[in-house]
Amino acid sequence: MDKQWYVVNTYSGHESKVKEKLEMKANSLMKDYIFRIVIPEQKEIEVKDGVQKEKIKKMFPGYILVEMIMTDEAWYVVRNTPGVTGFIGSSGKGAKPTPLQPYEVDNILRNMGISRFESDKELEVGTKVKIISGPFNGMFGTISSIDMPNQKLELNVDLFGQETSVEVELSQIEVA
């Protein structure tokens, strides 16, 4: 099972409390299943009476993102955390939710200035990846260089029996 990103619905204004409780549970009980918990926020500059103030605004009030491996136990722990009202993408009736697509996660996290990948752990030169979108969809390649600020990778892929260098965005790959 792969770790994927899910959207969790919380009571509006309780996102930080839910994040804190989930992190405590993840560290003690589910460290192999629940990895990162993110409140989608971005900084905004507000000008009031001629004074600039930096303000953090929630992108999606009442929602948090959870990177996890969807097992019955992890699903139960997240759903039964105080302040959580459920997962987005679940039809109810005991059905597990649908994870976010990599490009959806990348768009949200890029606006926050972070990456879907923990670059020092998951992505390094020599790592084998699968291209999941774009003209090289379905092909496998090996990372030859990483440009995290621009969210791009250079990969060596096998094209017609020749190793060829191609540039892809982080949103177009998953670790093989």
pLDDT tens-place string over residues 6-37: 999 999 899 999 999 999 988 888 888 999 89
Q: In what order do the strands lie in the sheet with 162-169?
A: 162-169, 152-159, 140-147, 128-131, 173-175
Give me the pLDDT at residue 113, please.
Answer: 73
Q: Determine the structural domain holding residue 98 and report its residue range.
A: 4-115
pLDDT at 118 over 70: no
Check: CB of residue 9 under 8 Å from CB of residue 85: yes
Q: Which token pair is 21?
A: 């409780």
Looking at the fold, whether 37 and 56 belong to one and the same domain comes out as yes
**Structure confidence at residue 120 (pLDDT):** 55
Its pTM stands at 0.71
On whether both 30 and 96 belong to a single domain, the answer is yes
Domain count, the chain: 2
pLDDT digits (tens, 9 = 90+) for 54-70: 888 888 999 999 999 99
Q: What is the Cα–Cα distance from 141 to 134, expressed in whole angstroms?
A: 14
Same domain for 105 and 59, yes or no, is: yes
**CATH code of the domain covering residue 106:** 3.30.70.940
Rounded CA-CA distance 29/88 in Å is 23
Q: Are residues 90 and 17 in the same domain?
A: yes
